[in-house]
Amino acid sequence: MRFILVLLGILVSHASQALPALPVTEVMPGIFVHVSEHHWPDRDNHGEIANIGFIVGDDCVAVVDSGGSPQQGIALHKAIKKATTKPICYVINTHVHPDHIYGNRAFKEKAVQFVGHHKLERAMATRGPHYLSKADELLDLRVTASNIIPPDLPVKDSMTLNLGNRELVLTAHPTAHTDNDLSVYDKKTNTMWLADLLFLEHIPVIDGSIKGWLNELARLEKNHYKLVIPGHGPLVRDWPVSLQPQKAYLTQLASEIRAMIKQGKTLEYAVDHVGLSTKQHWQLFEQFHRKNITIAYAELEWED
């Protein structure tokens, strides 16, 4: 038995040694981000398509989204060890989507607390079986329930984490991109990590509520941030200018769908006709636009 364990240990450490640290950039003092390219999650990229990273305080480190695959989680772990000797104390999952949580297990240690929206655990429970059952076929990943780690610290409205001379204010948002969106605000540098509440270049993906999302954007738009980190797309240093394309897209979608519902047009019709003029502005339009219409229509038809 001991021999097998040793062998396993060698194999595991070998596998992780072979893996290079994830490239990250220090975008503000102590804030490190890996900015991803825009791809449909598939067997080549293994779902490693989201912006992920970490924030370093005087005492410890908070991971913000762990990656789209167990391997990317390990690579991110390495990037942290390269950047600092401080221990990791928190893993913050900004929402349930696999490209943000499948690296969780690389950080599972006694001293590490997982943090998420208070509805994250339920979303993990209900979506987990489906995600896991598709991971091999769609992403070429072997993952189990142990890769999806529910939060130890659920955030109801907001919560402040202190990393040592660095306070992070976490906000649990009402349903927007999903029903479990959590943002991370770094007081020290006036940086807002919005994750998938903000998309640039990559078409926004609605998996929660179009109305709720527009409401949250209207609220966030009034704030002043030095830096905003989106879940998909380049870093934003001109807030709220870079928010406008996403806001315009969602606004147009909502208004065209409302008009069609009023005219008695069906969901099937809406899917083929809404928002086609927005196509040129977005990458992965073909993959997500019809889904967005579907989910928005199903929400807006209950409005009155």
Partner 1 sequence: MSKLQKIAYLLMILPAIALAEGDDITWNNSLKNQFFAGKTIEESNAVIELEAPYRAEDPAIVPVKVVSKMPQTQDKYIKKIWVFVDKNPFPFVGEFEFFPESGKADLAMRVRVNTYSNIRAIAETNDGKFTMSKKFVKASGGCSAPIGADLDEAMKRLGKVKFRLDDGMQVGQPTQAQLMISHPNITGMQMDQMTRFVRKSHFIDQLHVTFNDKPVLNAKIDIAISADPNFRFYFVPDKPGELKANFSDISCESPTSRAVCKPGEHYSQQYTVTP
What is the contact surface with partner 1 in residues (CB under 8 A)? 40-41, 97-99, 119, 121-122, 124-131, 134, 138, 145, 148, 150, 175, 178-179, 205-209, 212, 264, 266-268, 271, 287-288, 290-291, 293-295, 298-299, 301-302
**CB under 8 Å to 245, separation ≥6 — which residues?**
200, 281
Long-range contacts of 8-16 (CB under 8 A, 24+ apart): 16/74, 16/78
CB of 107 to partner 1, least distance (A): 18
CB of 114 to partner 1, least distance (A): 13
Long-range contacts of 142-146 (CB under 8 A, 24+ apart): 143/69, 143/70, 143/102, 146/105
CB of 179 to partner 1, least distance (A): 5
CB atoms within 10 A of CB 246: 23
CB of 264 to partner 1, least distance (A): 7
Our CB check for partner 1 shows the closer of 58 and 268 to be: 268
How many whole angstroms separate alpha carbon 171 and alpha carbon 194?
A: 10
Our CB check for partner 1 shows the closer of 138 and 159 to be: 138
Our CB check for partner 1 shows the closer of 26 and 152 to be: 152
Torsion sign over Cα 73, 225, 220, 164: positive
Our CB check for partner 1 shows the closer of 119 and 166 to be: 119
Our CB check for partner 1 shows the closer of 148 and 235 to be: 148
Q: Which two tokens stand for residue 105?
A: 């297990």
Q: Which two tokens stand for residue 272?
A: 């083929």
CB of 35 to partner 1, least distance (A): 19
